[in-house]
Structure 1
Amino acid sequence: MPEAVIDDAMMESMRAKIGVDLRIAHSVNNEEATRIAVAKFAGGIGDINELWTDAERGRASDYRGPVAPPSFVIGCFSGIQFGWPGLGSFHSSTDMDLLAPIYWGDTITAACRYDGFTGPRPSKFAGRMVTDHFTNTYRNQHGETVAEIRWQVVNYERATARSTKGNRKPLTIPHPWTPEEIERVEAQVLAEKPRGAEPRYYEDVQVGDALSSLTKGPIGLTDEVAFIAGGGTPIPRLKAHASSLVDYAAHPAWSFRDPVTGAQEPIYAVHYNQAAANAMGVAYQYDVGFQRQCWQIQLMTHWVGDAGWVKHLESQYRGFVYLSDVVELGGEVIGKEVSQDGEHLVHVTTFARNQRGDDVMPGKATVALPSRESTLTPVARRARDTS
């Protein structure tokens, strides 16, 4: 892969781009929430909630029609490979607002603005780093904003990252699971169910309550492929043969030459190609930041039930989730309030712990729950007439 160091000329070039609405057509994966597109996306993040895939279930709910998971916007457009030629990059954090439901048949138009960068700053991982800031907005065919995502990307010097590998905590990768351990993990995964149609009332939730768990893993190659096939990043969209070579000739920074097969591969292949991960200074293939974000959203939609609404989420991506890892997500209620517009809100902290005990995605969320004092549920407030 091309390699560079952060210098004044590079930073000046990036400063000139601050505030620009980026060209993202090559990285848009879904535009219409068709039944199949929604099913592929839900399957690609491992979400078994039938609310997203059963039209009758959607019509019987307060949505009054078939709907997509709120994370579906990430399958329309998540991120873009932008600027800093020759540097490696990692998605490091996300702050998002979910504003309106996405119904089957909706057309989603995404936009991405570059808000600038902070740094450079010193890093134990890779010498110096700069952090990019972006804002994604998603609007439906009625001009309504259904979601806004503010996200950050850390950019670093690849060569320095590889040279500091010896200073990092040694890990056994892939993780050496026993058959009995895998059996226990998969039994836990199968036991975890969405709350569904049974309301979780605001009055029944207390500060200190634990969220029900959501487990992912052991994470395999097909889990990554399924996320891509469902519309999760690639940056840009994956292509093959002449289609990809034309793109790589025009944008050399998008690809690298696989030393084993001789093929040109997208930089994005770090998530399923070991040579690509190694070139990034990482020991093994690893998950996608926005994929992890979808897991946090799923954790919350499972917990609030069909009538609850996930309003806001924050998350930081700490460390890598390698293929073979198991991640258990959970959280705790830390506060309750009734908003000025009468919504019954619950605030929670969330975590995502791997089998080594590391919290690889600390976060927060705010949800609106139905109340016994109100005849209108949070979903009913936001539902659209789809008749």
Structure 2
Amino acid sequence: MAKSKSDILESEEWQKATEYEITDEDIERQNQLLGFMSPSKHREYNQTATVDNIRNWSHGCGDDNPLFCDPDYAKGTRWGGVIAPGMMIGSVNSPMKGDPTPDHIKKLRKSLFRGIHVFVSGSKWDFYRPMRPGDTIYSYNGDETCEVKSSEFGGRSVICVRKDVKVNQNAEVVAVYRILRILTERKTAKKKGKYSHIEPATYTDEDIAAIDAVYEQEQVRGAVPRYWDDVEVGDSLGKMAKGPLTVTDVICFHSGGYGFVPYAPTVGRLAYKNRQRIAPFYIKNEQGIPDVAQRLHWDPVWAQAIGNPMAYDYGVMRENYLFHYLQDWAGDDGIITHVHDEIRKFNYMGDTQFITGEVVGKREENGQALIDVMAQFVNQRDEVTVKATATIALPKKGRMAMYPEVPADLAEEAARMMARHWELSKG
């Protein structure tokens, strides 16, 4: 017999799932790990970029830019073919080989922050070249910072920034991805219930028509160059809609290639093996079935168990929506070189996000014609859910936009990591 929601929240299984705490020992171990960079051994759903998985990723983000989705169109651009939307690189990875992890590092990592809930709260991206079909992406990473603070949502929390260096098969740095993660105790999140007053959004036909009107006016700049010369501080980047958010949106994002590795939703025997590997990540649902903790992105009962009124999106979804918005404005010849975003609030099922932005700076630096912009997401409750800044290299009349050069020390580090990978691969 299925349990009621109240039965579930008071059950021994769910109480056990919320008993894990952030300890002083965990924090000390995390601090000792700062600065240690290691090759990523994880195999993402996509390891090598293809025309198909680039299109599928774009469609999973609601992006139909022909530069990413139409090979015939892309042949006529400056790129000579399809390229990937920049943030897709964060979810493409082939295992990189490296020397064995030192024993003291293994000891520090073992069961670190066991059973603690993790939110992606923002990121910083630096882009150095596009990812093209045929590119295999490798990476190495490590935590850069660790800060302990009290969160308004989850009580005591730990804020960590992880640096991921994404490298292609030619040992060229494609991008550096810094991920801001907030680790919170499930029990404090459950007790706080800060957002329990929020009601699911409902829409009239007129409301949907108003959102559709935003979709109708959205335009991809595409082949018409947006010249640096013609842009002025204060210019609007236009308006984009995303939503209302549905479980289908989350399914499409996963189908497009977001694997949530190394945790990853899996099926059948693979799910069984995953449960043996990371047992605290699986919590029984109302039918007594062990299921992934990340189901808070589609299971409202589990989302409520940890203090939210309903299921919500992945922060990474909105980050990719941001890239969609910026690239639509920049056009085929524009290059997004840097993005910094902060996730301020949850995007609940039924919420609609409206993205707007404006030009806040215009400069020339190292031979580049650069535009600085600010953007934000505002939901139907008039709440700002994301704030972001970005730098975009635009063509100047008579001069193409170019990617920035990779810092020499970073290029050398990446070449050294890949050389060791290839050396170990020979065996």
TM-score by length of 1: 0.91
Alignment length, in residue pairs? Answer: 374
Aligned runs of 1:1-387 on 2, under 5 Å? 1-21=17-37, 24-26=40-42, 28-76=44-92, 83-119=112-148, 121-165=149-193, 167-168=194-195, 170-173=197-200, 175-235=201-261, 236-259=263-286, 261-340=287-366, 342-374=367-399, 376-378=400-402
Distance 1:100 1:131 in 2: 29
Distance 1:133 1:282 in 2: 24
Q: Give the 3-state SS of the residue equivalent to 1:212 in structure 2.
A: strand
Q: CA deviation at 1:320?
A: 0.2
Stretch moving more, 19-28 or 357-366: 19-28
The structure with the larger Rg is: 2
Distance 2:137 2:401 in 1: 25
Q: CA deviation at 1:116?
A: 4.1
2:354, 2:378 within 8 Å by CA — same for their partners in 1?
yes
Q: Give the 3-state SS of the residue equivalent to 2:275 in structure 1.
A: helix
Distance 1:225 1:112 in 2: 28
Equivalent position amino acid for 2:199 in 1 = T
Distance 2:371 2:19 in 1: 46
Cα 1:284–1:27 change in 2 (3 A) is: farther
RMSD: 2.3
Q: CA deviation at 1:168?
A: 4.4
Q: CA deviation at 1:102?
A: 1.1
Distance 1:112 1:184 in 2: 44
Q: CA deviation at 1:233?
A: 4.2
Structure 2 partner of 1:385: none
Residue by residue over 1:162-188, the C-alpha shift from the partner in whole angstroms, topping out at 9 and shown as x without a partner, is 2121x5472211x01112211221232
Stretch moving more, 128-137 or 68-77: 68-77
Unmatched runs of 5 consecutive residues or more in structure 2: 1-16, 94-110, 407-427
Residue by residue over 1:281-300, the C-alpha shift from the partner in whole angstroms, topping out at 9 and shown as x without a partner, is 21111111111111111111
2:147, 2:158 within 8 Å by CA — same for their partners in 1?
yes
Cα 1:344–1:319 change in 2 (3 A) is: same
Stretch moving more, 186-195 or 130-139: 186-195
Equivalent position amino acid for 2:89 in 1 = V
Distance 2:340 2:402 in 1: 20
2:195, 2:309 within 8 Å by CA — same for their partners in 1?
no
Stretch moving more, 344-353 or 184-193: 184-193
Distance 2:220 2:310 in 1: 32
TM-score by length of 2: 0.83
Residue by residue over 1:186-243, the C-alpha shift from the partner in whole angstroms, topping out at 9 and shown as x without a partner, is 2322431211000011111110011022210011111101111111242423210111
Percentage identity across paired residues of the two chains: 27
Q: Give the 3-state SS of the residue equivalent to 2:296 in structure 1.
A: helix
Residue by residue over 1:77-109, the C-alpha shift from the partner in whole angstroms, topping out at 9 and shown as x without a partner, is 5xxxx8311322211121111110111111111
Equivalent position amino acid for 1:163 in 2 = K
User: Which portions of structure 1, spanning 4 or more consecutive aligned residues, are displaced by more than 6 angstroms?
Assistant: 379-382
